[in-house]
Amino acid sequence: MSSSAAAAAPAAPILEVANLTQTYATAAGPLTVLDDVSFTVPAGGTLAIVGPSGSGKTTLLGLCAGLDRAHSGGVRIAGEALEKLDEDGRARVRNAEVGFVFQNFQLIPTLTALENVLVPLELRGERGRESDALALLERVGLAARADHYPVQLSGGEQQRVALARAFINDPKLLFCDEPTGNLDAANARTVTELIFGLNRERGTTLVLVTHDPELAARCDRTLRLRGGRMVDET
Amino acid sequence: MSFAFILKTAARDARPSWRRLLFTAGSVVLGVAALVAVGSFGRNLQQELDSQARGLLGADLEVSVRGTPLPGAQAVLESLGGERSEEKAFASMLVFPGRDGAPDRSRLVTVRALDGAYPFYGDFVTEPAGARAALGAENNVVLEETLLRQFGVAVGDDVRLGQKTYRVSGALRQIPGESAAVALLSPRVLIGQAALEDAGLIGPGSIVRHKTYFKFPEGTDVEALVAANRERLREQRLGYDTVAERRQELGDALDNLNAFLALTGFVALFLGAVGVASSLQVYLRGKRATVAVLRCLGASGRTAFGVFLAQGAALGLGGSLVGAALGVGVQRLLPLLLADFLPVDVRVAVAWGEVARGVLIGVVLTLLFALLPLLAVRRISPLAALRAAVLDTGGRDPWRWFIGAGIAVAVTGFAIWQTGDWRLGLGFAGGLAAGLGLLAGLARAVVAITRRLKLASAPYVWRQGVANLHRPNNRTTLLVLALGTGTALLLTLFLTRATLLEQLRGVGAEGRPDLLFFDVQDDQVDGLRELLAREGTPVLAEAPIVTMRLQALRGVAVEDILRDPSSDIPSWTLRREYRSTFRDRLTDTETLVSGEWIPSVDDPDGIVPVSVEQGLATDLRIGLGDELLFDVQGVPVRTRVASLREVEWRRMSPNFFVVFPAGVLEPAPKFHVLASRADNGALSARVQQAVVADFPNISVIDLTLVIETLDRIFGKAELAVRFMAMFTLATGVVVLGGALASGRRQRIREIVLLRTLGATGRQLAGIQLVEYAVLGLLSAATGGLLAVGANVALAVWVFESAPSAPWTAFAVAVPTVTLISLVTGALAGRGVVNHPPLAILRRAGD
C-alpha cells in the first residue's frame, strides 16, 4: 500500500475482489484456474500481479476488468458489482471507469493513431475531443504520427498510442497486461515511465500483470499467484 | 521434398480452416453449375434434333413462294415427282361469336390451309391427338392452344373465318421444327384447303405464302435432286428447304442461344474465380508464419508454394465437382424456361462430356486465379518466423504477367470455343474486361468518395461502419464488383426490355396511327372509310398497293443475277413480290436522302422516275440514275432511281420500298392499306369487330396487341436470361459471404477490442449493419450506373431510340441488393458480435 496514501486518510477501494473462483469444464472434469482470491485496491494505488505462466494472472485480470463472468465470488469497480451486470452493463462500466494496455498493443488496424485514441470517447457518444486526443499523443511523443495506421508504427510507438487511448477517458482504473512484454529495453523503459508518469498525473489506479520484477517493484503492492491461489502479498 | 510430403502437409494445414476453404470453394460452384446445365441441355437438344430430323420439316423437301407463283412454277413442282402436299398461309381475322348477347371478339391469326398428307413424317401435337387428320373435308379448324385459353373456347365450339363458320376440332400444341414463340403475335389456325372455299378469305392483294411439301421414295438423294433443279427453282423465284438445311438452321440458331446462355453463366464462374483469389489472399496472409517455419525447417520456396497450390487445386476441384452435380439438377429447369422457344421437346439426360468440360473449365480458371495470391508464398522469407515485420524479398514478380496473360487466353479461348467465332470470342473477352474494369473503376471511385465524406456530425456507429469500407485491407472493390455485376446484368436486361417497349409505345404516340387495315379491296375503301368515321376513328393514312416483281436490274435479267454465283445481292431482294405504292408527296415517316422527289409524270409509257428506300438500294447495289425493270402483273414498266429515301419502318404507317410518282400505276389492279387511331382498348376492339363483320377479308394489326405480344415474348426470353444472370448475382452473394468469412478473424479481433473498450452489443451490431447496408447500396448504385450506361449505349447504337429510365427498377434493385448484402453480412458475421471479450487477453497472456 502506498505509504503516502496511507499517511493521509485511507482511500476508499476502487477495486474490490472477494472470494473469486473460476472453474472451466474440461474433458477431464472441472479445472479450477483461480481459487478463492480476495484483495482490494484503493483509489490511486498501484498493484502488480505476478506469477509463473499458467498461474491464473490473466484470468484474474480479465475477471477484474469484467471481461468474463466468475464461477463464484465477486468484483466491484467503484462500488458497482460486476456479477450483477450483463455484458452490455459491464461494457458501460469499462467504458466509463477502465483503461487497458495490452502486451500486443491491440490497436484497431483499420484506424489511424488518432482515431484509435478517440474510440473510447466515440463509443460513449462524445464529440469534438480531437484536441484532447492530440494532446495525449503529444504527451506520448506521437503527435506527428496521428494520421498513421498501426502497421506504419513500430512496436514501441504502437504501445504509446495504446497508452494514449487508455487515458483518453480519464479512467479510474488502468489494467495493464504485460505492457512491456513485446518491447525492447529502450522502448520498455519509455513505456514504463509513461505508464507511471500518467498514472501520477491523473491519479489513476493501476493494476498490472507482469513477469518483470523491476516493473513489479515500482508498484505499491505485489500479489503473487501460483496454481490459481494467492500465495503472497507484499 | 516429395510430392507426398506436399500433399500431406497441405491436408494437415487445411484441417483447422476447412470451413473457410469450403466457403471459398463455394464461389465457383454456381458458375460451374451454370456451364454444366447449359452445356448438358444443349447437347440433349442437339441429339433430339438429330433423332427427329425428318420430323422437323415434316417432309423431304419444302418449296415455297411468297405471293402469286409465276406461271411456270407449277410445272417445275410437278416435275420433281414424289408425293406432294400443299399449304397456303395468310393472315386473317378469326371471329369468336359472342354468347348470350355478348359482342363478337376477333383476333389476327395466321391461317394455314393444308391439303394432302402433310406432315409426312412425325405429327402435329394436338389435343385431342390426331386432330390434324380430321381437317379433311369437313369445316373443321384446329386452333393454337393459347387461343382456346384466351377466348374461353372449347373443342366443338364454332368460330368464323371470313364469311364461313367452322367447328373447332382440336387445340394445336406444337408443330415439330417450329417454336411456339413465333406464333405468339399471330397464332396458327389449321384448316383443310377444301374448307377454304366460299370463305372469301383470299382476294387480290392478299399476301399468301404457298408451300409445297414433298415426300420421295426411300433412298432418294434429295440434296442431289435439289442441286440438279436449283436453277429451275430460282428461275421461278421459288425458295426451298431440305431436311439437312432445316436441321442446320435450327442447330445454328440453338447453338447461338446456347452460347449466349453459356457465356452468361461463364460471367458467374469468372466472378467466382476472382472471389477465390481474393479469399485465398486473406487466407495466405494468415499463413505467413506457417510458410516461414516450413522454410526455417528446410522447405524450399517451391515446396511451400506446392503445399498451398495443392490446397488451391483441391478448392477448384471440390467446388467444380459440387457445381457439376448442381448443374445436372439445374438442367432439368432449362427446358421449362425455354419451352416456347424450342422446336422440339427435350428429354433430359446427363451429358457426361459436358460435365467433364464444366469441371475442367472450373478447375483451370480457379487455379489460374488462385496462382495470383499463391505466387507471393514463394517469396516469404524464413526470417518472418523470427520477426513479423520482415519484408518479402524482391520487387515485382514477372510471373504475375504470365498468369494474367494465361487468364486472358483462357477466357478468350473459352468464348471462342463456345461461340465458334473468334471475333465473338474476342468481343466477349474484351467486353468482360471492359465491363468488370468499368465496374471496378466505379467501385474505387465510390470508395474514394466515402473516404472524403464528411460525416463528422453522424453518430459513431455510422462513421465507423462507413469508414470500414475504405480502411486499409478493405475489400470493398471486390465486394461491389461481386454484387454489382449481378445487379448490372439483371438491370440491363430490365432496362433494355423497357427501352424496346417504350420505343414501340412511341410508335403509337399521341395522334399517330395504332390500327392498320390491310387487304382492303378497291371497292371497299369508301365503305371502310365511312365505317371508321362513324366509329370515331377516322383514317389517318391511306395508300394504294400494286404488286410487282423485279425483272431486270441495270439491264441484267434477275434470273441471270440469281444464277450468277459471284453475285452478292441478297436473293430475297430479287425473288420477292414488291408491294409498291404511288403518290405525289413524301409522308411524315420518310426523309429524302438524295436525288429529286418527282411527284408525278405525264407520260406513263416513258421511263418512270421512282424513289427507292435507302437500305434496299444498298442491298441491290444500285444508286441514283440506275434502271430497274418491273413486271407489274404482266406489264413491263421501266423505271430509274430518281431519289433515295430513309424510311422510319417502326412507325405504324403504310411504308414502302419503292414509291412511284402519280400518273403511272393508277390503272393497275390494286388494293389498299389504311391506318387509323383508336386510342383505347375498348374502342379498338369495337372498331375491329365492326370492320370484320362488314368486311371479313380485311385484316387488322392492332398496335396494342403487338406491344402486348412482344412484351410477352421479351418476358419469356428475359426469364431464361435472367435465370442465368441470377447465377452471377448468387455467386456475388457467395463471394461476399466467402470474403466476410475469410476476414472473420480480423473482424473478431476488432469487435473484441471494441467490446473491451466498452462498446455495447447494439453498437457493434450497428456498425456491421451500417457497413453492409452501405456496401449493398454502393453495389446497387455501381451496378445500376453500369446498367444505365449499357442501356444508353444499346439504345443509341443498336436500337436507335431514346433510352428508357424506369426509376421503379432502381427502387426495387437498391433495397433488394442492400437487403441481400445485409442478410449475407448477418449470416457470415453470426456470433462475431457475441464473442467474449476475454479472448483479447488470451492472445497475449497465459
Domain that holds residue B644: 538-676
What is residue B662's DSSP assignment? Answer: B
CA distances from B394 to A188, B378, B391, B709 (A): 33, 11, 9, 64
Residue B703's Cα: distance from chain center in Å?
A: 23
pLDDT at B135 over 60: yes
Contacting residues of B for A150, CB less than 8 Å apart = none
Long-range contacts of B525-534, Cβ-Cβ distance < 8 Å, separation of 24 or more: B525/B672, B525/B674, B527/B694, B527/B695, B528/B674, B528/B691, B528/B694, B528/B695, B528/B698, B529/B674, B531/B690, B531/B691, B531/B694, B532/B674, B532/B676, B532/B687, B532/B691
Contacting residues of A for B762, CB less than 8 Å apart = 88
* Residue of chain B nearest A128, judged by CA positions: B456
- B262, with CB counted inside 10 A (0-12, 13-18, 19+), is buried
Q: What is the mean pLDDT of residues A214-223?
A: 92
Into how many domains does chain B fold?
2
For residue B600, the SS3 value is strand
CA distances from A44 to A198, A202, B298 (A): 12, 9, 53
For A74-90, the DSSP string reads EEEETTEEGGGS-HHHH
Whether A155 contacts A183, CB under 8 Å: yes
**Architecture of domain A3-233 in this structure:** 3-Layer(aba) Sandwich (3.40)
Task: Read off the pLDDT band of A143 (50, 70, 90).
Answer: very high
* Residue of chain B nearest A148, judged by CA positions: B472
Residue A88 to chain B, least CA–CA distance (Å): 5
Per the listing, cell 378469326 goes with B94
Task: Read off the pLDDT band of B296 (50, 70, 90).
Answer: low
CB contact under 8 A, B762 and A53: no
Whole-number average pLDDT of chain B: 83
Last residue of a domain, one of B651, B676, B701: B676
Q: Which residues of B have a CB under 8 Å from any CB of A?
A: 456, 459-460, 463-464, 467-468, 471-474, 746, 749-750, 753-763, 836-838, 840-846
Contacts of A21 (CB under 8 A, 6+ apart): A32, A34, A35, A36, A37, A70, A71, A72, A73
CB contact under 8 A, A108 and B840: no
Task: Read off the pLDDT band of A3 (50, 70, 90).
Answer: very low
User: Which pLDDT score, from 0 to 100, does residue A92 have?
Assistant: 83
Question: Which of A67, A93, A170 is the best mutation test for B, with the most CBs of B within 10 A?
Answer: A67
The 10 Å CB-count burial string (b at 16+, else e) for B351-373 is beebbebbbebbbbbbbbbbbbb
CA nearest A105: which of A67, A149, A65, A162? A162
A95 touches chain B (CB under 8 A): yes
Last residue of a domain, one of B676, B706, B733: B676
The answer as to whether B124 is a domain residue is yes
A209 touches chain B (CB under 8 A): yes
CB contact under 8 A, A53 and B754: no
User: Which pLDDT score, from 0 to 100, does residue A181 have?
Assistant: 85
> Cα–Cα–Cα angle for B639, B641, B647, nearest 5°?
120
pLDDT at B308 over 70: yes
pLDDT tens-digit series, residues B542-598 = 899 998 989 999 999 988 888 888 888 888 888 888 989 999 999 888 999 999 999
Q: CB atoms < 10 A from the CB of B379, how many?
A: 15
Here the cell at position B428 is 466477349
User: Which pLDDT score, from 0 to 100, does residue B845 have?
Assistant: 36
Task: Read off the pLDDT band of B384 (50, 70, 90).
Answer: low
CB-nearest to B838 from A67, A93, A94 is A67
CA distances from B446 to B461, B466, B768, B811 (A): 20, 12, 19, 20
Residue B707 to chain A, least CA–CA distance (Å): 55
- B145, with CB counted inside 10 A (0-12, 13-18, 19+), is buried
Whether A144 contacts A109, CB under 8 Å: no
Contacting residues of B for A57, CB less than 8 Å apart = 845-846
Higher pLDDT, B57 or B338: B57
Q: What is the mean pLDDT of residues B713-724?
A: 75
Per the listing, cell 460452384 goes with B29
d(CA B271, CA B733): 11
Which residues of chain A from 26 to 55 reach within 8 Å of chain B, CB to CB? 53-55
pLDDT tens-digit series, residues A23-55 = 888 878 888 989 999 999 999 999 999 999 888
Contacting residues of B for A65, CB less than 8 Å apart = 756
Question: Which of B475, B757, B843 is the best mutation test for A, with the most CBs of A within 10 A?
Answer: B757
pLDDT tens-digit series, residues A93-121 = 888 888 888 888 888 776 789 988 988 88
d(CA B480, CA B738): 14
CB-nearest to B836 from A58, A68, A123 is A68
The answer as to whether B551 is a domain residue is yes
For B280-314, the DSSP string reads HHHHHHTTHHHHHHHHHTT--HHHHHHHHHHHHHH
Contacting residues of A for B756, CB less than 8 Å apart = 65, 67, 94, 100, 106
B119 upstream amide cis, omega within 30 of 0: yes
CB-nearest to B758 from A56, A95, A178 is A95
pLDDT tens-digit series, residues A153-183 = 988 999 999 999 999 989 999 999 889 888 8
CB-nearest to B757 from A87, A88, A123 is A123
pLDDT tens-digit series, residues B756-801 = 888 888 888 888 888 888 888 888 888 888 888 888 887 777 777 7
* Residue of chain B nearest A179, judged by CA positions: B844
Here the cell at position B64 is 415455297
The domain segmentation of chain A, as residue ranges, is 3-233
Residue A54 to chain B, least CA–CA distance (Å): 5
CB-nearest to B845 from A91, A103, A151 is A103
For residue B550, the SS3 value is strand
Question: Which of B756, B834, B840 is the best mutation test for A, with the most CBs of A within 10 A?
Answer: B756
Locate all alpha helices (DSSP H) within B375-455, ordered by sequence: 398-419, 422-452
A150 touches chain B (CB under 8 A): no
The answer as to whether B15 is a domain residue is no
**In this prediction, does ipTM exceed 0.85?**
no
Last residue of a domain, one of B216, B249, B282: B249
CB contact under 8 A, B762 and A102: no
Q: How many CB pairs under 8 A join A and B?
A: 106
